[in-house]
Amino acid sequence: MIDPQLTDIAKQLAELKTSAADMATATNIVWTLVCAFLVMFMQAGFALVETGLCRRKNAAHVMAMNFLVYAIGIIGFWAIGFGLQMGGVGAMATFGGDATLSNEVTITLAGKTFGLFGGSGFFLPLASYTPAVATMFIFQMVFMDTACTIPTGAMAERWKFISFVLFTLVISTVIYPIYANWVWGGGWLATLGSNFGLGHGHVDFAGSSVVHMTGGVAALVGAKMLGARIGKFNKDGSPNAIPGHNIPMALLGTFILAFGWFGFNPGSTLAATDTRIAVVAVNTMLASASGAIAAGIYVWTRYGRPDPTWLANGMLAGLVAITAPCAFVSASSALLIGAIAGVLVVLAALFVEQKLKIDDPVGAVAVHGVNGAWGILALGLFSNGTYGDGLNGVSGKVTGLLYGDSGQFFAECIGIVTNVVYVGAMTAIAFFIIGKLVGNRVSAEDELTGLDVPEMGVLAYPEDAEARLPKGMEGSPT
């Protein structure tokens, strides 16, 4: 044996290991970027669904909110939000771990440490602007933007544009990132397991609570504080239907959302090397289908016809509900979760409209808020102990109540309550202050005319004869 030969072999082996690790990093980054792009495209889906389900006279306004929310969210998240959310997340190992954001602000109570928010990574400083951080940044960014765009639907057709701009800044810089920190950034909800033995802590695989409940709760509070559109409720409190102006647009938007969701859920492994992504993708697809079909059967049975807007909202409800549990459940559970979501979204929308007397033009509260909560519960119920070993620092796989772990279910419930209280309160405070500063609602005159010209300076469809109807006809519910 000649030593140099062995030395050379060892060197070659080390090089091969490094190159294999680099390859895994590159593949994980590619996968996560592609998923981020798909999620970004969901902004177009939201824009189309919301605009299609509103009236023509407000189409440019609804579209512009959905457009600008993306840009404003980016600025807010770059400056403040990302640091608050992920500033304590540590090395991002699947992306090569080339930089570390490790400043989590915590408090210690009774000997246990609770993460409150992150404290590094603000304004993406050059020293942290590495492939790993950039990948994490863009992926978290598009999730945040999804949450921000949900309230625009519930508050459409009467929300003042400047108020929308300011609220978007608040939700993207503070409201969303802090809750996201608690669940995904190492904050206190994530450590309910390691601290108190509640399963793996509050687990939300891809954002049923972090993204959808946050958006849905903000939508509920916002829509309540804004009040209903003129003509929505009669004097006796009974609601009038105000049909959307373009059903094909709404369904195209739903398809785009369902397409982008294949980035949303499977991307949330943050790793292509975790081939569970395939199971996640299939569960996502199955729940989207059963949601649409269950909603369709329910409304067909109840109202005589399978109204396409309910088919769409049923699919979206199934998608929202499977978002949390998609990695942890069987195919048949995914179908069941989606089917329940499809019925639940109809019941919830009717409840919001008829009992709460809140006017939510696109059903955002029912789709994202109620089904976000249902998705979290579903994770706590149906997780079958086949995935999630080591998640949130807890060994063993994620297991729901029906498979024996009541602690996991309890941790899920704590997250739901926390979201409702925290997001609800923050939204109310934000709207109150913004309302005092600039006003939240357009004038009745602008609302009757349509918001496009007074707020945006353009008509969405300037050549449509009806868009130039004489005053007096313009405020009709259709």
Residues 403-442 that bind a copy of itself (CB under 8 A): none
- Among 308, 424, 435, 475, the residue binding a copy of itself under the rule CB under 8 A is 308
245-262 burial code (b ≥16 CB/10 A, e <16): bbeebbbbbbebbbebbb
Count of C-beta atoms within a 10 Å radius of residue 364: 33
Crossing angle of helices 331-350 and 371-382, rounded to 10°:
150
Query: Cα separation of 264 and 70, whole Å?
Result: 16
CB of 93 to a copy of itself, least distance (A): 14
Q: Are strands 104-109 and 100-101 parallel, antiparallel or unpaired?
A: unpaired
Q: Please identify which residue in 49, 84, 89, 141 interacts with a copy of itself, judged by CB under 8 A.
A: 141
Residue 292 in the binding site for a copy of itself (CB under 8 A): yes
Q: Distance between CA atoms of 70 and 148, rounded to whole angstroms?
A: 8
Q: Are 371 and 222 in contact (CB under 8 A)?
A: no
> What is the full DSSP assignment across 330-367?
-HHHHHHHHHHHHHHHHHHHHIIIIIS----TT-HIII
- In the complex, what is the shortest distance from the CB of residue 24 to a copy of itself, in angstroms, rounded to a whole number? 6
What is the rounded distance in angstroms from the CA atom of residue 416 to the CA atom of residue 297?
A: 29
Smaller CB distance to a copy of itself: residue 201 or 338?
A: 338
Select from 30-38, 346-354, 409-417, 440-448 the region that touches a copy of itself (CB under 8 A): 30-38
Nearer to a copy of itself, 191 or 246 (CB): 246
- Give the orientation angle of helix 277-303 with respect to helix 331-350, to 10 degrees: 40
Q: Determine if 116 is a binding residue for a copy of itself (CB under 8 A).
A: no
Indicate which single residue of 126, 234, 355, 472 sits in contact with a copy of itself (rule: CB under 8 A).
126
Q: 194 or 384, CB closer to a copy of itself?
A: 384
The answer to whether residue 336 forms part of the interface with a copy of itself (CB under 8 A) is no
Shorter beta-carbon distance to a copy of itself: residue 135 or 214? 135
Residue 290 sits in the site that holds a copy of itself (CB under 8 A): yes
CB 292 within 8 A of CB 313: no
Collapse the DSSP code of 314 into the 3-class scheme (helix H, G, I; strand E, B; otherwise coil) and give the result. helix
What is the nearest approach in angstroms of a copy of itself to the Cβ of residue 148?
12
Q: What would the two tokens of residue 380 be? A: 């706590």
Helix (H) / strand (E) containing 93 = none
Q: Establish if 132 lies at the interface with a copy of itself (CB under 8 A).
A: yes
- From the list 438, 446, 437, 449, the residue with the least C-alpha distance to 473 is 449
CA–CA separation, 315 and 311 (whole Å): 6
Considering only residues 243-282, where is the footprint of a copy of itself by CB under 8 A? 243-249, 251-252, 254-256, 258-259, 262-263, 266, 272-273, 275-279, 281-282
Of the two residues 1 and 110, which places its CB atom closer to a copy of itself in the complex?
Answer: 1
Judged by CB under 8 A, the stretch of 173-181, 189-197, 240-248, 406-414 that binds a copy of itself is 240-248
**Shortest distance in whole angstroms from residue 309 CB to a copy of itself:** 7
Applying CB under 8 A, among 105, 116, 194, 307 the residue interacting with a copy of itself is: 307
42-81: which residues touch a copy of itself (CB under 8 A)?
43-44, 47-48, 51, 55-56, 59-60, 63-64, 66-68, 70-72, 74-75, 78
Based on CB atoms, which residue is closest to a copy of itself, 221 or 289? Answer: 289
Spatial CB neighbours of 350, under 8 Å, sequence gap ≥ 6 = none
Binding residues for a copy of itself, total number by CB under 8 A: 125
Say what angle helices 247-264 and 308-323 make with each other, to 10 degrees.
Answer: 10
Give the CA distances from residue 449 to residues 57, 233, 446, 478, in Å, rounded to whole numbers and listed in that order. Answer: 7, 18, 5, 13
- Map the footprint of a copy of itself across residues 152-211, applying CB under 8 A: 161
Judge whether 242 and 361 are in contact, CB under 8 Å: yes
Stretch that binds a copy of itself, among 183-191, 227-235, 327-335, 368-376 (CB under 8 A): 327-335
Stretch that binds a copy of itself, among 83-91, 289-297, 365-373, 414-422 (CB under 8 A): 289-297
Here the tokens at position 150 are: 């949900």
- The burial class, CB within 10 Å (0-12 / 13-18 / 19+), for 272 is buried
Contact 456, 61 (CB under 8 A): yes
Q: Which of 85, 94, 120, 135 binds a copy of itself (CB under 8 A)?
A: 135
Q: Binding to a copy of itself (CB under 8 A): which residues in 357-396?
A: 384, 386
Residue with smaller CB distance to a copy of itself, 253 or 369: 253
- Window of 102-110, 183-191, 407-415, 454-462 that interacts with a copy of itself by CB under 8 A: 454-462
